[in-house]
Amino acid sequence: MTATHRPLVEVKDLHVRFRGERNVHAVNGVDFALDRGEVLGILGESGSGKSVTLKALLRLLPEKRTVISGQIRVGNEDVLALEPEALADFRGKTASMIFQEPMLALDPVYTIGWQIAEAVERHEKCGRDAARQRALEMLERVRIPSPARRLDAYPHEMSGGMRQRAMIALALACKPQVLLADEPTTALDATVQIQILLLLRELQRELGMAAIFVTHDIGVAVEVSDRIAVMYAGRIVETGKVADIVRRPSHPYTRGLLASTVHGAMRGKRLDAIPGAPPSLNEAPSGCSFAPRCKEVLPECSQSLPQAVTVSPAHLSRCVRSTPVTA
Amino acid sequence: MSAELLAPLPDVGGPAQPLLEIRNLTKHFPIKGGMLNRTVARVNAVDGVTFDVAKGETLGIVGESGCGKSTTARLLIRLIEPDQGEVRFDGQTVGTDISVAELRRGVQMVFQDSFASLNPRLTIEDSIAFGPRVRGVANTDAVNKAHDLLRRVGMAPEQYARRYPHELSGGQRQRVNIARALALAPRLLILDEPVSALDKSVEAQVLNLLVDLKASLGLTYIFVSHDLNVVQYISDRVLVMYLGRVAEIGPVESIYTDARHPYTRALLSAMPSMDPDRRTQEAPIAGDPPNPINPPSGCLFHTRCPFAEAVCKTTAPALAPVGESHNAACHMEIAGSGHSRAARA
């Protein structure tokens, strides 16, 4: 990355803490950048902070109970400093989001066409008819059969795959610069999941849009991403190009995750499972959070947070054992 | 009485006798509606399903949501009463030769939702000891057995026995559910998506545990899952369901390398590739699975099948042999069916 180059999305030292009966340090210092037209996959298990990071980018976390620090810049906007009106302009226009469960994300009492047209009217300041026309185009674009009829359908009248297509149409209606996708295919059946992944990949290329895909499924991340960031206990432990992460994983957690992901070739062999369970995050972690489960743990692991080490070009790992590439 | 209940059941029919024989199992759920609350439609959740489970094997049941795989599991253990069909456990017909209570002594189940399937007001020791107590095992024996089982599933009883379900992680709760299912020393475990709610690193731990328990206790498994990777890893034979019927059944290698039903092939090629240089380029089939309330005529898959012909729309194909103990329900595999790709009769 040259000095003149300015990425589309920049997140620096993001911390998210939830207050309440107990404190949860959900995100503990996340840095990443995303270029125009690039797809980043954030891979992690439940509680790793991947969804929280994504929601922080749209400021969707409940303000009263959340303490956010750090920097989030998308395009020219300093997201954490946006006033309510500017935030409403930002959501859906600059960045928009699709969720795991379209039945919960879409409004059950309005038709699909109405919901898409509403967003278009709000952002493009156009009339109802033009907005409705755009909604129709979007339904065609996500390949919903008989789109003109589907404009007047309510979410409950559609199947799971169709609802997910409708939500994609809604999210892309105002041509955002970055699409945030939170486990968009997890609730879908296998034969439908692959259709939606291919559709998202195609639309992302056509529109030249950047995207961040949050998933727990390595297969899904490999299908859609250019780069992958692996999260554990609220930190990115490794990031690199898809091929580097899948073929030459450096961090012990990434290696453990790949080794414990079942596939056919492992038949009859014992799975190399990671022992134990992720930490609770009631306290802000001081050292490497993976140390208690790590097979290669060293005394210094629990003393301080390991620095990100460049193990090969554009491939970073936060592990004390990682050896930097000799430039 | 007490010791007997905790000992494994005797093998009645010998090794050649299938442990479970399912014949023409059928369940149609009525949908009520209208002013008089009459039955307006039916969901054919399970429609004439027939298969055997041999002693000591793991049968994987796969399919998409709504295909009837979980309903089949529940019918086997009579959590749902079937409309039709016969279940024989080690040669004994359920309902005539043995009672449902006797069946459940030999067949136990583990569910997907580890939290919902444990009583939140019972300690895990009490949950595991509950079944044996109800059946008349003395309290101390039941508790000792519970501790023994906790040890077997890798949880130290000194540390965990008095805890409540909410004090455990998802993986630990699933271990408790497995321990509870083993409390009456069953011969067959029905595992309904047992690892689907778990994270990958924990999933591997539980799969290892299941493999170990099967070997040490001589168990037989029915493993229901939508995850084709997990099913391939754990199963000896695989049954593929589509809209309540068996599409294909056979040994795991045949199903994964030589699938004959177009649906099985589509399901397999819909698995995301793990290779960034060989990403999926084209979806194997279009559209969503049809609504099971008004299923298509003939072969249920004809609405999405790239090879569908006239005969597929009118006639439902029967399961036909396509290889060594490998059967598929497709007109292309039935000689003389009238499909252009089938052999002439």
B chain contacts of residue A256, beta-carbon cutoff 8 Å: 201
B chain contacts of residue A160, beta-carbon cutoff 8 Å: 288
A126/A245 same-domain check: no
A181/A89 same-domain check: yes
Domain assignment present for residue A319? The answer is no
Number of Cβ atoms within 10 Å of the Cβ of B144: 15
For residue B338, is it left (φ>0), alpha (ψ between -120 and 50) or beta? left
Q: Inform me whether the C-beta atom of residue A230 falls under 8 Å from chain B C-beta atoms.
A: no
Domain assignment present for residue A126? The answer is yes
Number of domains in chain A: 2
A192/A229 same-domain check: yes
Domain assignment present for residue A254? The answer is yes
pLDDT at A3: 52
Domain assignment present for residue A237? The answer is yes
B chain contacts of residue A259, beta-carbon cutoff 8 Å: 204
A184/A259 same-domain check: yes
* A189 vs A244, residue with greater confidence: A244
Cβ density class A12-42: b for 16+ within 10 Å, e for less: eebbbbbeeeeebbbbbbbbbbbbebbbbbb
Which CA distances in Å does B203 have to A99, A293, B69, B115, B171?
24, 15, 21, 16, 8
pLDDT at B3: 60
Q: Domain range spanning residue A119? A: 102-175
A155/A181 same-domain check: no
Q: CB distance A262–B203 less than 8 Å?
A: yes
Residue ranges of B 158-177 with Cβ closer than 8 A to chain A:
169, 171-172
Note the pLDDT tens digit of each residue in A136-177.
Answer: 999 999 999 889 999 999 999 988 889 999 999 999 999 999
A3/A75 same-domain check: yes
Taken in order of first residue, the domains within chain B and their CATH numbers are 2-242 (3.40.50.300)
∠A25-A29-A35 over CA atoms, to 5°? 130
CATH number for A257 = 3.40.50.300
Residue B131 C-alpha from the chain's centroid:
22
- Kindly write down the DSSP assignment for every residue of A272-323, as one continuous string: -PPPS-----SS---S-TTGGG-TT--GGGGTSPPPPEEEETTEEE--TTPP
Domain assignment present for residue A303? The answer is no
What value does the CA radius of gyration of chain B take, rounded to a whole number of Å?
Answer: 22
Residue A283 predicted with pLDDT over 90: no
Domain assignment present for residue A294? The answer is no
A21/A49 same-domain check: yes
A189/A77 same-domain check: yes
A chain contacts of residue B200, beta-carbon cutoff 8 Å: 45, 216, 218, 257, 260-261
Note the pLDDT tens digit of each residue in A193-224.
Answer: 999 999 999 999 999 999 999 999 999 999 99
Domain boundary among A120, A142, A175: A175
A chain contacts of residue B275, beta-carbon cutoff 8 Å: 222, 246
Q: Which two tokens stand for residue A223?
A: 């299908």
> Quick one: A139 exposed, middle or buried, by C-beta within 10 A (0-12, 13-18, 19+)?
buried
**Mean pLDDT, residues A104-122:** 94
Q: Which residues of chain B have pLDDT under 50?
A: 1
Q: Which two tokens stand for residue B160?
A: 């965990």
Domain assignment present for residue A291? The answer is no
Domain boundary among A175, A192, A225: A175
A9/A133 same-domain check: no
A59/A23 same-domain check: yes
Domain assignment present for residue A246? The answer is yes
Q: CB distance A223–B280 less than 8 Å?
A: yes
Report for A189-193, A273-277, B19-23: range of highest mean pLDDT: B19-23
Q: CB distance B256–A256 less than 8 Å?
A: no
Domain boundary among A157, A175, A193: A175
> Quick one: A61 exposed, middle or buried, by C-beta within 10 A (0-12, 13-18, 19+)?
middle
Residue ranges of A 236-295 with Cβ closer than 8 A to chain B:
242-243, 246, 256-257, 259-264, 266-267, 270-275, 277-278
Residue A259 predicted with pLDDT over 50: yes
Q: CB distance B233–A220 less than 8 Å?
A: no
pLDDT at B1: 47
With bands split at pLDDT 50, 70 and 90, how would you rate the model's confidence at A7?
very high
Q: ipTM score of the complex?
A: 0.85
A12/A148 same-domain check: no
Choosing among A46, A189, A201, which should be mutated to test the B contact, i.e. which has the most B CBs within 10 A? A189
A11/A81 same-domain check: yes
Mention every residue, 6+ apart, whose C-beta is less than 8 A from residue B332: B260, B262, B307, B339, B341, B342
Give the Cα separation of B295 and A288 in Å (integer): 54
Q: CB distance A190–B267 less than 8 Å?
A: yes
Chains A, B: CB pairs < 8 Å? 128
Percent of chain A exceeding pLDDT 90 equals 76
